Structure 1
Amino acid sequence: MGIAVFAERTAQGLLEFLKKDRTLREMKALAELGTPNTIVTEADIGKLGVIAVAGVAERNFVFTRKFVTLSRPKVMKWIKWSGGFIKSSVTHKTHYVEFGLDPGQTLFKAQRNKVQTVPEETFLSLF
């Protein structure tokens, strides 16, 4: 089977799938939940439970001293709600070190261990 035949069959199958009533209902329900970039609120969590957010779920986070725009407890809630983990120190299992004002030794340790460091603005864009 050539690539053209494969592409045509795949496209036809996809169109048939998208035309089904059940598929349309499920897609409409998903659209009503919001986009992945929507910040999760406490009210959302009550309705939906834990929401895995790409880039956060199953990742280990370490914070430096101060956040500029948000409180540390609020950011910690967001990470937990999104399926991430908060750690107290940098190790080989750390995925991200978020840094804000006056990062201190944590940032230097992360850089020395080649752990990805993320400024606060970039970190918040994960949500």
Structure 2
Amino acid sequence: MRGLLAALALAAMVAAPGSAQGVRTADGAGALLRTLDKTSGEVIDVEMTVGQTMAYGSLQVTLHECRYPEANPAGDAFGLIQVVDTRELREVFAGWMVASSPALNALEHRRYDVWLLRCLIARR
């Protein structure tokens, strides 16, 4: 239920970037994700571009979108991410992750953690 509420709140922000809050968002070119193997303790930061899929252990992680506040690019990023466990042949996460609140809508996997750190901004 918590994940559904978080997804709905973020979907509303994406659908109405000029909402009453006045927070306008921009599309990132990609995202910086942090991965953790809970068994080995290995932590890796990975840069991904929008549309890219990467393998991490038994997981396939796909970044569909990354958005950030226009007025504060270093501010609260949120990314649309899908994670499939190739050993179990099932989707283990699909939704929006929020950089400032990783526990709000987190991947729940017995071995791996994946969370969003920030969006990558295209150089002009």
Work out whether the TM-score is over 0.5: no
More helix by share: 1
Q: TM-score, normalised by structure 2?
A: 0.24
TM-score, length of structure 1 as denominator length: 0.24
Q: Looking at both structures, which has the greater relative contact order when contacts are Cα pairs under 8 Å and sequence separation is at least 6?
A: 2
Q: Which is higher, the Rg of structure 1 or of structure 2?
A: 1
